[in-house]
Structure 1
Amino acid sequence: MAKKILFINQEIVPYVPETDLSHMGKALPQVMQESGHEIRTFMPKWGNINERRGQLHEVIRLSGMNLIIDDTDHPLIIKVASIVQTRIQVYFIDNDDYFTRRQMDKDENGMDYADNGERAIFFARGVLETVKKLRWVPDIIHVQGWMGAVVPLFIKKAYYDEPSFANTKVVTSLFPNQMTSDLAPNFKKCLEFRDITADTLTKYNEVFDATELAKLAIDYSDGVIAAHQDTEADWMNYAAEQGIPTLAYPGADFGKAYEEFYEKI
């Protein structure tokens, strides 16, 4: 059965260098589109993306909203481009402070940016607010990459009564840990939004490392996929312990397994 699937990707080739994550960022939407599903695809507008080469342009009607994070207004800018070979349209979440003047999740010295937690929150909320404006109602939201790890929480606790997301199922793909440092101490406080309160987050440590972030994503997902053969077994075991449906790494020919998993949840 054809579904409407929203892909929230941390990386997509050809806009950023080839990695396992960026490869799947392109391959998964492409496979699902070719299988007859209706898709929308989002990623951050990382500062190393060449806008001219990628033919990105701003979508004025979707831009202009301010998102408040840590008591500061951050303007949301939406850009769009198409991957020519696949006819996949990609929406980019942009902001001068969080993305334009940076590299990706790591700086020029290979160190995680200190405000990566805030950037992840801005990205997640930016995607969800933009989907609302598109008046498009996804059946499935599929998150790939830790930068989207807060999306399941927001869907289930902050946007659950929005018509766009009321009946949406959330799938999280887990990849090997890319984080080299913990998120900033203010991350947990910055997560508080609408019905997400300090009480919502009491089970989590005050400082989030990669495992704590994975647990947060898992707890609010309807299904969890090991998207790589080296995905941390402890994370998948945690998902199983919570009674959440899981899919073991299906190998390179993943399309049918993913479609069956969508139906299962």
Structure 2
Amino acid sequence: MKNSISQKFPFFKKPLKVLFVSAEVYPYATVGGLGMVIFSLSRALKKLNIDCRIFMPKYGSIDEKKYKTEMILEGLKVPTDETVEEKKFLICNVKTHFPSEPDVPVYFLENMEYYEKRSNVYGYSDDPIRFLLLTRGILDFLKQFDWIPDVINCTDWHTGSLPNYLKTIYSQDPVLSKIKTLFSIHNLSHQGVFDHHFVSQMDFDDGKSPIASFFSDKLPKQNFMRRGIIFADIVNTVSETYAQEIMTPEYGEKLDDLLKEVRTKVSGILNGLDYTQMNPATDKLIPFNFGISNLKDRVKNKTHLQKEFNLEVSQDTPVLGMVTRLDEQKGIDLLFPILETLVSEFDCQFVVVGGGEAKYRSFLEEISKKFPKKIGCHLMLDFNLSRHIFAGCDILLMPSKFEPCGVTQMEAMRYGAIPVVRKTGGLADTVEDFDPKNNTGNGFVFEKFSSHALFGAIVRALETFKYKKNWQELMKRAMRADFSWEASAKKYLELYNKAVSI
């Protein structure tokens, strides 16, 4: 493996060194899909002989008894750029944890006020200070450390200040100035603690002024998504289609003109799945294991799911499932006019797992009371129950308004659930529309963001379900789809190679 990598990139006499910087990393602290991406991608790169390491905040929720840490540096003085003497520095520690195989070291920036005392990863009014402390702390730590990365892979607005710092304050540093950066956009709609849709001209951040000092009133108004895009050597998103979509006004979140201006350094790489963890043949979280060769055993999971949600048990009744965050992005609004018609006029059932906004919870609670044997709801996140839906439902709905990548559809397909998706972002890159004439495709795709379009796609799926032979073949194609991290990791390696050659 080492020889093959060195032959492809001959100027790397030693393994390429990559540092991931992220607000969340599985299993230490994770809120959404970002944490799992960092976990899985770093390990896939490790298998390609890349010296990967990870840096994140040490939140108070991280259990040091479970994850044994070692002090690397105590009393790190992180500059704040304040002029008042007592505010010039924040004091931090750096600790590390070495997981068991594969060995990807994780470094933690420890600070009592901004991390240790906080029970959540996000959601604080001083989040700009918390994440500025992370990026500045990392750079000042690296100045004293014996391991210097070739590339730092930053993720989303929380770490967008790091490329900015490297190209300004540290541009003349003999060590840090040589580091290249890749800025990964997982969701362009999150750009800070302000609403980027409504910014006055007085508060608008063009991204080129100096980064404000830590305690300045200007800091919360600075857009570190914009700054990450401007100052990073390479920018990538988490699917090829999303990389194109964000250059349009519809999906660009007011950064489309900037992204078009720097389009030569923007690309898209699809997220992957950890096939070791996501394996229906060995998964301990599902009631009954199965594989492509024994799909009859999957039927037992459907029965279990129907009983779990107190629905009528019937193998001939298709079960529609959703595993989702309940918000506008996920297209829940499209269900409002059609869900009652679906369950009352068609022989089908509907189950959903996920937490979120009150208006969606109220809608789902009310309609489940109206159709208790047809609709089942668990309106909070539940990792185990989500896996039951993947293994037991027949059809998975993802009618997203936009979807940078989407992992749920890939997880569902791995477990034999057929996705119904809108043609956007990563959904467009992973789901091929079923063609009954040629018996091809692995799901059902609709384009227009409307209830009628979603309804039509669901009806197509329900009608196809009646033809068991075709449906079984459809399931097998879905389960055979390859979304492993291995292919994605090789594409990231190409981007790192491009960055260091700049």
Say whether the fold is shared (TM-score over 0.5): yes
Partner of 2:193: 181
TM normalised by structure 1 equals 0.80
DSSP 3-state at the match of 1:214: helix
Partner of 2:23: 10
- For residues 96-111 of structure 1, the aligned pairs below 5 Å read 96-106=112-122
C-alpha deviation, 1:178, in angstroms: 4.7
Distance 2:256 2:121 in 1: 24
Distance 1:77 1:87 in 2: 22
DSSP 3-state at the match of 1:88: coil
Distance 1:213 1:67 in 2: 19
C-alpha deviation, 1:190, in angstroms: 9.0
Partner of 2:489: 255
- Alignment coverage as a number of residue pairs: 243
Distance 1:190 1:241, change over 3 A: closer
1:64 maps to 2:75:
yes
Q: Which structure 1 residue ranges, 4+ long, deviate > 4 Å from structure 2?
A: 187-190, 228-232
C-alpha deviation, 1:32, in angstroms: 1.7
Distance 2:69 2:191 in 1: 28
The one-letter amino acid paired with 1:191 is: I
Distance 1:123 1:6, change over 3 A: same
- Equivalent position to 2:258, from 238, 246, 250: 238
Q: Do the aligned partners of 1:29 and 1:39 also contact (CA within 8 Å) in 2?
A: yes
Distance 1:240 1:164 in 2: 32
Distance 1:47 1:179 in 2: 25
Partner of 1:74: 90
Distance 1:239 1:47 in 2: 36
C-alpha deviation, 1:120, in angstroms: 1.2
C-alpha deviation, 1:18, in angstroms: 6.0
TM normalised by structure 2 equals 0.44
- Give the CA RMSD over aligned residues: 2.9
- For residues 21-60 of structure 1, the aligned pairs below 5 Å read 21-59=34-72
Distance 1:38 1:240 in 2: 33
Post-superposition CA distance 1:102-160 (Å, at most 9, x none): 02333xxxxx2111111111111111111121132322111124321110001111112
Q: Of Structure 1 and Structure 2, which has the larger fraction of its residues in helix?
A: 2
Post-superposition CA distance 1:74-100 (Å, at most 9, x none): 211111112223211111011000100
The one-letter amino acid paired with 2:194 is: D
C-alpha deviation, 1:10, in angstroms: 1.6
Q: Do the aligned partners of 2:55 and 2:108 also contact (CA within 8 Å) in 1?
A: yes
Structure 2 gap segments, 5+ residues each: 1-8, 10-14, 196-202, 247-251, 273-484
- For residues 54-203 of structure 1, the aligned pairs below 5 Å read 54-59=67-72, 62-69=73-80, 70=82, 71=84, 72=87, 73-106=89-122, 112-176=123-187, 177-178=189-190, 181-182=193-194, 191-192=211-212
Distance 1:32 1:124, change over 3 A: same
C-alpha deviation, 1:240, in angstroms: 3.6
Q: Do the aligned partners of 2:192 and 2:224 also contact (CA within 8 Å) in 1?
A: no
Post-superposition CA distance 1:170-227 (Å, at most 9, x none): 10000114568329x9x9999347xxxxxxx9xxx9823xxx3211111100111102
Q: Of Structure 1 and Structure 2, which has the larger fraction of its residues in strand?
A: 1
Q: Do the aligned partners of 2:78 and 2:90 also contact (CA within 8 Å) in 1?
A: yes
C-alpha deviation, 1:9, in angstroms: 1.7
Post-superposition CA distance 1:58-85 (Å, at most 9, x none): 22xx221222434423211111112223
Structure 1 gap segments, 5+ residues each: 107-111, 194-200
Q: Which has the larger radius of gyration?
A: 2
Distance 2:65 2:210 in 1: 34
- Equivalent position to 1:207, from 199, 211, 221: 221
Distance 1:239 1:93 in 2: 31
Q: Do the aligned partners of 1:45 and 1:94 also contact (CA within 8 Å) in 2?
A: yes
Distance 2:179 2:78 in 1: 23
Partner of 1:196: none
Q: Which moved more, 1:138-147 or 1:91-100?
A: 138-147
Distance 1:180 1:143, change over 3 A: closer
DSSP 3-state at the match of 1:104: coil
DSSP 3-state at the match of 2:152: strand
Q: Do the aligned partners of 1:152 and 1:220 also contact (CA within 8 Å) in 2?
A: yes
Q: Do the aligned partners of 1:135 and 1:164 also contact (CA within 8 Å) in 2?
A: no
C-alpha deviation, 1:261, in angstroms: 1.6
Distance 1:236 1:144, change over 3 A: farther
Q: Do the aligned partners of 1:222 and 1:244 also contact (CA within 8 Å) in 2?
A: no
Q: Which moved more, 1:69-78 or 1:223-232?
A: 223-232
